[in-house]
Structure 1
Amino acid sequence: MRRAALLCGLALVCAAAGAQEKVEVCYNYGCLNTATVKFGKRQLAEVRDLLDDAVDAAHERALVGVAIGRLLGWAGRQSPIHADRGGNYADDGAYGRMDCIDHATTTTRLLQMLERRGWLRWHHVREPEVRTRLVIFDHWSAVIEEAPKAPYRDAHPLSRARYAVDSWFYDNGLPAVVMPLDAWMDWEGPRVE
């Protein structure tokens, strides 16, 4: 009886891991508008297989950038975010454009989906971060934190390396930039016109 219940529970977990997933994406600056997009079993299997190839934390970060790009590209097939171009000027006035708030919010939701499914082995998702210059210029990004390699009893939670996962720099569907959060906070990253 107990074995049957265990097998039933395992079957439910496996079915849920392969089932489609819904995620709400933001667009039109400041999450003014949202759309619910669905990722099918094949798409999710592709992302899972991609992330399964990670051999260490650095490799996983590189693959996370690719995975976020793919997920946003698929989301663009179902929502107006296909019009989004890197930065804030190339898509000026386009319906479906995304600013850094839209990107940070949406990317965080996508990362949380990956984490919830157990596909991030070397990282945990954190709250988005903001960098500010001259009080009026700010920029937001999703954030991941490297997971501890061994249990830390007394370690401060901020002692682990954190990374910006910033999909704002490039056009919809292209890989997100993943870089050390400290460098990102110092306004490093690709130059966007």
Structure 2
Amino acid sequence: MHDLERCAVAVRDRGTVLEGYVAAYLDGTMTVAADQGVVPGALDAGEDVEVLVLDEARGEVRYSGWVSRIGATTVALTDLELVSTLQKRQVARVRTLQLCTGVVTPPDGPGRAVSFVVVDIGAHGMRIATTSRLAPDDRIAFEFPTGGGAVRLDAEVLRAQRTGSGATQYGCRFVDIPENATDVLFRYVLRTQGAQRRRRLQS
């Protein structure tokens, strides 16, 4: 179960400390292979952790457990207990203020350049703020930077929302998004949430 699915290991006081994939999961022990190897000191044997698995079939699956073995490229997590399962469409978004440019195309007209700020984003949609006037069913083609490169996305405008300041924000969903782009956005959300938690703890 979960073989080769993306995952992230977190420690309560430090947030995400390891990202990688599930190399094996058998008899309550999960072996996680780290993308960049296991950073010395990032985890201690016996430490309580939470692991988030981004399962293509089951969605976002969280477990709690403890570290039973640490290697150069893998860690073993033992006595895993299921904490929650959240289908992908329900996965929380992360707040960000990322300036993007792209091309917006209405259903029956030519495309035009557009600049906007991504206010929050998840694997399946985003909320943006822009001075450009958008309408439901408009399509926005753009690239979103994730820290490890940019991912190309197409978003459909669903609705307009007036904010308390009088500005207009737009709710959008991603369309025709390939699975690898969904995974990239999942990882971006995890990293950003972890960084935000660490900043809150340090403030």
- TM-score (norm. length: structure 2): 0.22
Whose RCO is larger (CA < 8 A, sep 6+)? 1
Between Structure 1 and Structure 2, the one with more strand by share is 2
Between Structure 1 and Structure 2, the one with more helix by share is 1
